Amino acid sequence: MTTITEARVIVTAPGRNYVTLKITTSDGVVGWGDATLNGRELAVAAYLTEHVCPLLVGRDPARIEDTWQFLYKGAYWRRGPVTMTAIAAVDVALWDILGKVAGLPVYKLLGGAARDGVLVYCHATGEDVPALLDDVARHVDQGYLAVRAQAAVPGLAKTYGVPTPDGKLYEPASSALPEEHLWDTAPYLRSAPEMLGAVRERFGFGIHLLHDVHHRLTPIEAGRLGRDLEPHRLFWMEDPTPAEDQAAFRVIRQHTTTPLAVGEVFNSIWDCQQLITERLIDYIRTSVTHAGGITHLRRIFALADLYGVRTGSHGPGDLSPVSLAAALHVDLSVPNFGIQEFMGHREPASEVFRTGYTFENGYLHPGDEPGLGVEVDEEAAARFPYDPRQLPVNRRLDGSVHDW
């Protein structure tokens, strides 16, 4: 019987930090999984190295569901971002191996293509509205059909989603201690509808327009913002309130018909069960890497399909190309796909991750190589050592900590 002979973690920072799991079988087949949890990378690396990798050696790599259940139920301690990211990395690496052994791209193992391509949205930002409009134009010129628009909030020095002065990161990270930003809800609620209205005025209604609130409002504030945005016909309003409070979405729903999307911080089906079964959202944004891998993400998406909720997976630059490839295989195959976030990866990521996915006319395709279609160059990875970073922390004007 073919068995797993080695499972090993690679931590590398080609442009930003990524944690990658490499699983090798007795037949010499290698599978890759992404285990990156931005800002808490080493917790997942240690969970894998100390607690999971030793359990994998000797197991049958083709028993993917059994391994998932073994790691989830066997730990006794369930769910949580660290555990579920670690399980996801194993799961994705095993699907990669299965595809390579079968000689098929993973999407064919998942039932085959249910569409020709994966509609993606990009992220356009600016220090002010004119700069944002230039950035939207740049993305539209590149062929994007869906754009998420974010601009700085007037009067606030730094805002989520707007690049740092070096222009490289849209979520600024600092080294030893997190940066602290000031947050004020009132100017945001005034400026966001104006900013999105300006995008519609310049580009019309021919592009899909999205906006990320990043969990910073109360339910009634989110209801008001959703209502104010209705004339701009958003594709979605993302993460309006802190996501762990599922019942809060009942309040938002009572006040607006702007479509709602949430889920990038979720790691299991239990985090979104109420949101889906009560039809409180329109898009579920769980990702392969943070929600238990291909096996568990498909379960979430199948539940969502029963309730008319479509998918919209998180796909930031802080998930590795292995994660994006896995997402694309799922996206291509599920019936209720909605849209996929695509932030791209900052160089020199392509020195470490050789990818097979392609972008054309607003759509991504995972390619037809066996497995996921991504290979990792370990020698290149070794050239980019871990670079500890922290996500920022928001404080309100009175000094209290707020959602970032």
* DSSP 8-state symbol, 49: I
Reduced to 3 states, what is the DSSP secondary structure of residue 1? Answer: coil
Q: SS3 of 30, please? A: strand
Question: Angle, nearest 10°, between helix axes 81-102 and 321-333?
Answer: 70
Task: Considering only residues 256 through 285, tell me which ones interact with Mg ion, judged by CB under 5 A.
Answer: 264
Per CB under 6 A, the list member of 41, 221, 264, 375 interacting with ligand KDG is 264
- Residue 188 among the catalytic residues: no
Residue 50 Cβ vs ligand KDG, minimum distance, rounded to whole Å: 24
3-class secondary structure for 209-265?
EEEECCCCCCHHHHHHHHHHHHHHCCCEEECCCCCCCCCHHHHHHHHCCCCEEECCC
How near is the Cβ of 368 to ligand KDG at its closest, in Å?
A: 28
Q: How far is the CB of 108 from ligand KDG (least distance, A)?
A: 28
Q: Using CB atoms within 10 A of its CB, is residue 1 exposed (0-12), middle (13-18) or buried (19+)?
A: exposed
Q: In Å, what is the CA distance from 401 to each residue of 117, 204, 212, 216, 394?
A: 42, 38, 20, 11, 6
Using CB under 6 A as the binding criterion, the count of chain residues that bind ligand KDG stands at: 10
Is 160 an active-site residue? yes
**Nearest distance from C-beta of residue 38 to ligand KDG, angstroms:** 3
The contacts of residue 79 (CB under 8 Å, 6+ apart) are: 267, 268, 270, 271
User: Which is closer to Mg ion, CB of 97 or CB of 225?
Assistant: 225
> By CB under 5 A, which span of 14-22, 206-214, 352-360, 361-369 interacts with Mg ion?
206-214
Whichever of 45 and 56 has its CB closer to ligand KDG, that residue is: 45
What x-and-dash track marks residues 221-260 binding Mg ion by CB under 5 A? ----------------------------------------
Whole-number Å distance between alpha carbons of 388 and 381: 16
Find out whether 231 and 205 touch, Cβ atoms under 8 Å.
Answer: no
CB 240 within 8 A of CB 260: yes
Asked whether position 271 contacts ligand KDG by CB under 6 A, the answer is no
End-to-end CA, the chain = 49
Residue 393 near residue 179, CB atoms below 8 Å: yes
Considering beta carbons, is residue 25 or 150 the nearer one to ligand KDG?
A: 150
Q: Which stretch binds ligand KDG (CB under 6 A): 107-115, 225-233, 313-321, 356-364?
A: 313-321
Q: Does 287 bind ligand KDG (CB under 6 A)?
A: no
DSSP state of 22: E
The entry of ligand KDG, Mg ion, none that residue 211 binds, CB within 5 to 8 Å by partner kind: none
Q: Binding to Mg ion by residue 212, rule CB under 5 A?
A: yes
316 interface partner picked from Mg ion, ligand KDG, none, CB below 5 to 8 A per type: ligand KDG
Comparing CB distances to Mg ion, the nearer of 40 and 115 is 40
Each residue 310-349 as x (binds Mg ion by CB under 5 A) or -, in order, gives: ----------------------------------------
Min separation Cβ 318 and ligand KDG, Å: 4
Tell which residue, 325, 368, 365, 366, has the closest CA to residue 349.
Answer: 325
Answer for the pair 263, 285: CB distance below 8 angstroms, yes or no.
yes
Near ligand KDG in 374-393, by CB under 6 A = 391
Q: Minimum distance between the CB of residue 350 and Mg ion, rounded to whole angstroms?
A: 24
Secondary structure percentages of the chain, helix, strand, coil, to 5: 40, 20, 45
Task: Give the contact letters, 179-218, x = binds to ligand KDG (CB under 6 A), - = no.
Answer: ---------------------------------x-x----
Distances from the Cα of 260 to the Cα of 121, 149, 267, 278, angstroms? 16, 16, 19, 13
Catalytically annotated residue among 47, 72, 107, 160: 160
Active site residues: 160, 214
* Interface residue list for ligand KDG (CB under 6 A): 38, 171, 212, 214, 264, 314, 316, 318, 341, 391
